[in-house]
Amino acid sequence: MNNWNPRSDHVVSFIDLGTNSVRMMVVRLNPNYSYTLISHEKEVVRLGESEFGDNTIRREAMDRTVLVCQKFVQLSKAYGADEIIMIATSAAREATNQNVLVERMREEAGVELGVISGIEEARLIHLGVSSGVDLGTRDALFIDIGGGSTEVIIGDQERYSMLDSLMLGAIRTTTMFIPEGHKGPVDENLYNKMKRHARGVMVHTVRSASMVKYDQVWGSSGTVVNLAEMAARAYGGRPGVLRFSHLKKLASMLRSLDLASRRLVPGINPERADIIIAGAAILETFMEELHIEELNVSDRGVLNGMLVDYLSGIDGYPHAQRMSVRETSVLQLGRSCNLDEQHAETVMRLALELFDSAKEIGLHNLGAKERELLGYAAYLHDVGDFISFDNHHAHSYYIVRNADLLGFEGREIAIMANLVLYHRKRPPRRKDPGMADLDGRTQQNIITLSAFLRLAETLDRSHAGLVSGVGFTKKDKSEVVLEVVAEVDASLEVWGLDDDQKAFYKAFDRSLRVRVRGAA
């Protein structure tokens, strides 16, 4: 458990020293239990370059790495970092001169370097990737191909049933099979040798994974992300998904090119051009052996896992409260925008009461997914106040639409963004810019749900929580009765409902009659 008591801002820098690159993320932890990303940096250093023959880090590689880490530490301090956490993975943990690297980091960069095991690396990868997707209790297979090692995990949102780390990576395999200085194409025979080697290293992992059922497959790391980007440019497909058939065609194309031509392939990171073929061989072999037709791609990894691990040790943060990915990301966004949490929670409660009671009397037939999105939108409806109260519904739309909320699909984010946009002013129209690209059913759902959100917002317009309960009690062909329960005078809230009549009629083709009673 971390000892920090969040009464004031606290800036933490996380640095991941990998075999291929150094990554840094600087985060400000805020007193309201949110966090703000201040900086995200990456530099390719090739710490593992030419290492894996004798497990010795070369002086030039160590010099490059120490220099970059010095700069990152200086940058962290410039951002006000009170704490710097640096870990190293495959290249450092296997090096016979690991102690030299650790001592140089202490003396020259002024930071303690923690060298973690492969299993701990796998645990952090699982934390990092799973914290960005909505898995619930469904199991997923995670494959992360690094420069020196590959981590394989099976687990759900919070727990894992398998953690494995293999001495198999893009730099390691390149060093083993492609002669130093080779700049020509890679022939099929050599590519197949890399695949046979990969198959031998992963045989026990594949056997273990084959005995477990999982619903999804996720690939992470720079290698996987870059392969997916190139495949999408060349062959299309769904965003964020890499198909096995596309990977095979891509690998064949890449190895037919010399190094200079490879660097020009659309979507490639030129700094990976020399090791990308080995990375493709490893991933292709995994997908073959485990009969994976497609995998989802994540750009999250160890660094994100370090942050989640840190936050989970602080009471009050959503990560420590075992919230779902969706709940955590919504709460984080709201708090980072300093919303009025009491009002947000009241509007969310009222909106869900309206949704439930409307369903009970047959006013709609929407399900649990739509209810969940309504609740999140209700919580976030005022985040635009962070920019300006004037036109804040439009600001709220922009923030929700572009906040990269974790665990949500693009369509779900579009629904929530439109709901917060239409919680005030005029009702939604199908031809509106935010609506026009959505299908007819989704448009109608937004019209329906926005009516509930508008009513809920109006019923707490004073932000005083005067309305203790609300619900639709009956309907006929022309009218619906809304019962409002309040222990004190809530006439201002009830009066404001007149402005929501048009939106209600548009959604349900009925007028609204309001009945107020005191609490029982």
Q: Domains along the chain?
A: 10-116 (3.30.420.40), 133-299 (3.30.420.150), 323-517 (1.10.3210.10)
Closest by CA to 49, choosing from 38, 64, 37, is: 64
* 450 in Cβ contact with 426 (< 8 Å): no
Closest by CA to 30, choosing from 400, 386, 378, 349, is: 386
* 397 in Cβ contact with 386 (< 8 Å): no
Please list the pLDDT of the chain residue by residue as tens digits (520 residues).
454 455 568 999 999 999 999 999 999 998 888 889 999 999 999 999 988 889 999 999 999 999 999 999 999 999 999 999 999 999 999 999 999 999 999 999 999 999 999 999 999 999 999 999 988 789 999 999 999 999 999 999 888 999 999 999 999 999 999 998 899 999 999 999 999 999 999 999 999 999 999 999 999 999 999 999 999 999 998 889 999 999 999 999 999 999 999 999 999 999 999 999 999 999 999 999 999 999 999 999 999 999 999 998 887 777 666 778 889 889 989 998 889 999 999 999 999 999 999 999 999 999 999 999 999 999 999 998 878 767 788 888 899 999 878 888 888 999 999 999 988 878 888 888 888 888 889 999 999 999 999 999 999 988 889 999 999 988 888 999 999 999 888 888 888 888 888 888 999 999 999 999 885 5
Rounded to whole angstroms, the Cα distance separating 17 from 44 reads 10
Backbone angles phi, psi at 83, to 5 degrees: -145, 135
pTM exceeding the 0.95 threshold for the entire prediction: no
Structure tokens at 35: 């966090």
Predicted confidence (pLDDT) per residue in 156-214, tens digit: 988 899 999 999 999 999 999 999 889 999 999 999 999 999 999 999 999 999 999 99
pLDDT score at 16: 97
